[in-house]
């Protein structure tokens, strides 16, 4: 178990260091192979939060970013408090299937969406709506992915601004998820600080390595492999859920 957790967070951290996202998606997708989504989300909080802080503050200009995306932030907070979806604390809800669907859909989107429409002129009303859905899905799956990531990519931001904007959305979502897990505990799941640290250090090392090699490989090829991996992982999670129900 320990070796598997270390390997998962090292891989997820490296991917995040290279393209600015992927740590929650990869970590949740792989960890749920050996544990419940609630426990996986609990292990993910500290590594994800610290790596997102790194991503958010590395370039500076955070206040300017908050001023632009304050309604997105507010929407994420509201969505995590009043979610329209069943949450991770609902043991009867197949959150693994919802997470698998999100991973597969995002993988398909990443592979086949070539030119996104520029939605920046609609940002004033789209940001709170997208934020709400992102927050609601975060407390349902443990991952902020759809629709927040495609939305930010559709604003035609510069590469560094996009990475930092993703860091802002991920940081806010992680804080909301941490609060949700704290106030909605599942009694039979034991929280281990040793296991949290077991994921944190490999994630930080992996992110550092990923940032170092970001410009040394073909980003287009790596992204293609990343999205194909998400489709495979999401499909596996969906299949496993179906098998459990049969």
Rg of the chain over all Cα atoms, to the nearest angstrom? 17
Q: What sections of the chain are H helices per DSSP?
A: 2-19, 23-31, 37-57, 62-68, 70-81, 95-112, 123-141, 148-153, 159-183, 193-212, 219-245
The per-residue pLDDT for 196 is 67
> pLDDT at position 50, please?
84
Q: What are the φ and ψ backbone dihedral angles of 78, each rounded to 5 degrees?
A: -65, -45
Per-residue pLDDT, 59: 67
List per-block mean pLDDT (blocks of 10 residues) for the chain, which spans 246 residues. Answer: 86 80 80 82 84 77 90 96 86 75 85 78 94 94 86 84 87 92 72 68 87 74 78 82 70
Per-residue pLDDT, 32: 82
Quick check: 207 and 48 in contact, CB under 8 A?
no
Which pLDDT score is estimated for 81? 95
User: For residues 131 and 127, what is the distance between their CA atoms, to the nearest angstrom?
Assistant: 6
What is the span of the domain harbouring residue 25? 2-245
The domain total for the chain is: 1
The per-residue pLDDT for 189 is 57
Q: Please say whether the beta carbons of 101 and 234 come within 8 A.
A: yes
The predicted pLDDT at position 182 comes to 84
Q: What's the pTM value of the predicted model, to 2 decimals?
A: 0.82
pLDDT value of position 163: 79
In this predicted structure, what is the pLDDT of residue 190? 57
Cβ atoms 110, 153 nearer than 8 A: no
């Amino acid at each position: 178990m320990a070796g598997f957790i270390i390997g998962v967070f090292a891989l997820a951290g490296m991917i995040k260091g290279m393209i600015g996202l992927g740590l929650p998606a990869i970590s949740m997708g792989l960890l749920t192979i050996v544990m419940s989504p609630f426990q996986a989300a609990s292990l993910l909080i500290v590594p994800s939060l610290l790596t997102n802080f790194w991503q958010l503050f590395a370039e500076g200009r955070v206040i300017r970013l908050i001023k632009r995306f304050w309604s997105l932030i507010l929407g994420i907070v509201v969505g995590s408090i009043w979610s329209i979806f069943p949450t991770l604390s609902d043991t009867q809800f197949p959150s693994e299937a919802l997470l698998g669907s999100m991973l597969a859909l995002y993988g398909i989107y990443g592979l086949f969406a070539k030119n996104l429409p520029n939605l920046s002129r609609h940002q004033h009303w789209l940001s709170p709506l997208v934020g709400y859905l992102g927050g609601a899905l975060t407390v349902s799956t443990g991952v902020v992915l759809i629709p927040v990531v495609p939305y930010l990519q559709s604003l035609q931001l510069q590469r560094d601004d996009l990475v930092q904007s993703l860091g802002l959305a991920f940081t806010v979502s992680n804080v909301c998820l941490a609060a949700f897990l704290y106030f909605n505990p599942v009694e039979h799941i034991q929280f281990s600080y040793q296991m949290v640290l077991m994921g944190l250090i490999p994630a930080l090392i992996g992110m550092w390595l990923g940032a170092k090699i970001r410009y040394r490989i073909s980003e287009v090829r790596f992204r293609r492999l990343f999205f194909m991996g998400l489709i495979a992982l999401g499909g596996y999670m969906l299949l496993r859920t179906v098998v459990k129900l049969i």
